[in-house]
A = this chain, B = another copy of it.
Amino acid sequence: MVGLAPSRRVRRTPFSAGVEAAGVKGYTVYNHMLLPTVFASVEEDYHHLKSAVQVWDVACERQVELRGPDSGRLMQMLTPRDLRGMLPGQCCYVPIVDETGGMLNDPLALKLAEDRWWISIADSDLLFWVKGLAYGYRLDVLVDEPDVSPLAVQGPLADDLVARVFGDAIRALRFFRFGWFDFQGVSMAVARSGYSKQGGFEIYVDGTENGMPVWNALFAAGRDLDVRAGCPNLIERIESGLLSYGNDMTRENTPHECGLGRFCSTQTAIGCVGRDALLRVAKEGPTRQIRPLIIEGDLPRCDRVWPLIGGGKNVGQVTSAARSPDFGCNVAIGMVRMTHWDAGTRLQVETPDGMRDVQVQESFWY
């Protein structure tokens, strides 16, 4: 790997000192911020994530905060998902699209109160889109990035670890719900959520100064649980079918192409941007869609689009791929044309190291 040059523009996080002390070996940049990608090795991190518990610096999931009388209206403008039934204390995965139905981000929305929301964003400056809309529509709402930094605790032992630091009440928290829990006198939102299928929580650490105290408390409490520093794991997230904005989908794609049609209540999400475009897509259905794929042979790191070939023609692309130790094959995510997307279809993929055989899978591996 070529080195990542340090600069203030690539922001450090409240947990960077802990990440460095834990021996981070690779970074990516996400929302202008450092995001670790590997500690021991991607494979070793993967096995540990599935068997113990890890603490992840995901401060790069920046929050866009909406506050004020029009915040509910603005939130519904942002997404085709119908949010009318959403209650404070709930998290919702919300595709966010532009006026053509193209994906701008796929964040988690947290409803803090009727007039206050956090949008926990994937890798794009969603703040700019939200501010532009709020300004253009002269909405009575404040839009800003608060000093709140998510720290994820993921893995089968996550409940035990988090309960030791935030109290046993955390065990009762349901999936995609959050509550307010005390850490040394500071109230912090803790949600049962996270970018893995191994279970766990995301702690919305309030205040940069509280970052390392929370980090240290988790490590001190979890010694006998073999707690380690970790990060979103490339292999595990592909196995689990967790899409990555910028990798598996971009502004080129509609939610329906990304398999997110079930989050689009275009008929009832009145006022959402992109509704006209998505009504048509919902009616006609997408002509290409995300599919799980198995790729044969040795693979280089997937750092660019790999064209998928079927019947001599380009029928899609692979955007994420990795060797899965547990499933003994190369797991991959691709966008495939409907003519070739049925499970069992055999295709080829053009990697920088040559052509490889591909088979379309019925479902992801988790």
Which chain B positions have C-beta within 8 A of A24? 2
The answer on a CB contact under 8 Å between A246 and B8 is yes
Which chain B positions have C-beta within 8 A of A104? 128
Binds B, one of A259-267, A302-310, A343-351: A302-310
Instruction: Please name the residue on chain B nearest to A30 by beta carbon.
Output: B9
Instruction: Please name the residue on chain B nearest to A9 by beta carbon.
Output: B246
Instruction: Please name the residue on chain B nearest to A303 by beta carbon.
Output: B6
Contacts A135-B132, A246-B32 given; indicate if A302 touches B4 (C-beta within 8 A).
Answer: no
The answer on a CB contact under 8 Å between B135 and A99 is yes
Q: Which of A28-48 contact B (CB under 8 A)?
A: 28-29, 32, 37-38
Instruction: Please name the residue on chain B nearest to A38 by beta carbon.
Output: B5
Instruction: Please name the residue on chain B nearest to A248 by beta carbon.
Output: B8
Is A319 part of the contact surface with B, judged by Cβ < 8 Å? yes
Q: How large is the interface on A (under 10, 10 to 19, 20 to 34, 35 or more residues)?
A: 35 or more
Q: What distance in Å separates the Cβ of A125 from its nearest Cβ neighbour in chain B? A: 4
Instruction: Please name the residue on chain B nearest to A124 by beta carbon.
Output: B125
Interface of A is mostly: loop
Oligomeric state, in copies: 2
Is A25 part of the contact surface with B, judged by Cβ < 8 Å? yes
Is A299 part of the contact surface with B, judged by Cβ < 8 Å? no
- The contact string, 1 if C-beta is below 8 Å from chain B, for chain A 106-145, is 0000000000000000011110111111011100000000
Which chain B positions have C-beta within 8 A of A246? 7-9, 32
Instruction: Please name the residue on chain B nearest to A143 by beta carbon.
Output: B98
Q: Name the one of B2, B12, B29, B273 contacting A303, with C-beta atoms under 8 angstroms.
A: B12
Contacts A3-B2, A4-B1 given; indicate if A9 touches B244 (C-beta within 8 A).
Answer: yes
Which chain B positions have C-beta within 8 A of A135? 98-99, 132-133, 136, 273
Q: What distance in Å separates the Cβ of A247 from its nearest Cβ neighbour in chain B? A: 5
Contacts A128-B132, A246-B32 given; indicate if A27 touches B2 (C-beta within 8 A).
Answer: yes
The answer on a CB contact under 8 Å between B5 and A3 is no
A29 to B29, CA, bound (A): 6
Q: Can you list 26 pairs linking A and B with CB atoms under 8 Å apart?
A: A1-B5, A2-B24, A3-B3, A3-B26, A4-B27, A5-B26, A5-B38, A6-B303, A7-B301, A7-B302, A7-B320, A8-B302, A9-B123, A9-B246, A10-B28, A12-B304, A32-B124, A104-B128, A124-B125, A124-B128, A125-B125, A129-B129, A130-B132, A132-B136, A135-B273, A136-B137
Q: 10 tightest A-B contacts by CB?
A: A136-B136, A132-B132, A1-B3, A9-B246, A6-B303, A125-B125, A29-B29, A5-B37, A128-B128, A128-B129
Given contacts A2-B27, A3-B25, A135-B136, 15 further A-B pairs with CB under 8 A are A1-B4, A2-B24, A4-B26, A5-B27, A5-B38, A6-B301, A7-B28, A7-B301, A8-B302, A8-B319, A9-B123, A32-B123, A98-B135, A128-B132, A133-B136
Which residue numbers of A lie inside 8 Å of B, CB to CB?
1-10, 12, 24-29, 32, 37-38, 98-99, 104, 123-126, 128-133, 135-137, 244-247, 273, 301-305, 319-320
